[in-house]
Amino acid sequence: MSIPDEHKLIEARDFKYCPWCGSRLESRRLDGVMRSACPSCEYIWYKNPIPATGAIIVDDNRVLLVKRKYPPKVGDWCIPAGFMEYDESPVECCKREVKEETGLDIKIERLFWNYKAGDDPRSIVVLILYLASVIDGDLLPGDDALETKYFDLERLPSNIAFSAHRRAIKDLKKYLEDGELPRENEP
């Protein structure tokens, strides 16, 4: 399978030059943190995590997962999720990503939890997950999925792509046992 250019993996890099005026950035301690700043126009590069959202969809003690089509982690399984667009709300992103990856329209039931992950080479990610139910559509792999499948929570694939997804599935199992939503759970 050939990977289209727009899906080739680009690892996170630091700016060397100001995106506003083109001057070389300098390291400065600002707000107690070393940051890249422009000596000419005073631009400060705040290296922030990227927000992503996704949906935990459970049917008869089975969770819906998608097999990744593009890097990173091609062929690994994950919760249907993706990065937010600039003009989207987290809920809009979640619905769009689920539709794109699975063909399903969903209803957001409630916020499940949020997770920080550092094992995506593109960026640090803040993943916001919702509990959702299917309201329409046909389960088919979409634009960046090789396969979509419900897995019994006791027979999950061993290759879950990202640490945040693994933690979320662990939290989901506990939630389905005791009804308590996750609490602070940083590793």
Residues 84-105: pLDDT tens digits? 999 999 999 999 999 999 999 9
Task: Return the pLDDT at 10.
Answer: 57
> Domain residue spans in the chain?
14-45, 50-178
Is 114 a residue whose pLDDT tops 70? yes
Is 143 a residue whose pLDDT tops 90? no
**Alpha helices, H only, the chain:** 90-102, 163-178
Task: Return the pLDDT at 2.
Answer: 57
Q: Domain 50-178 sits in which CATH superfamily?
A: Nucleoside Triphosphate Pyrophosphohydrolase (3.90.79.10)
Q: What are the residues whose beta carbons fall under 8 Å from the beta carbon of 68, sequence distance 6 or more?
A: 74, 75, 76, 77, 78, 144, 145, 146, 161
Task: Return the pLDDT at 187.
Answer: 54
Residues 155-168: pLDDT tens digits? 999 999 999 999 99
**CA 126: distance to chain centroid?**
7
Q: What is the mean pLDDT of residues 32-52?
A: 94
Q: Cα separation of 4 and 1, whole Å? A: 9
Task: Return the pLDDT at 95.
Answer: 98
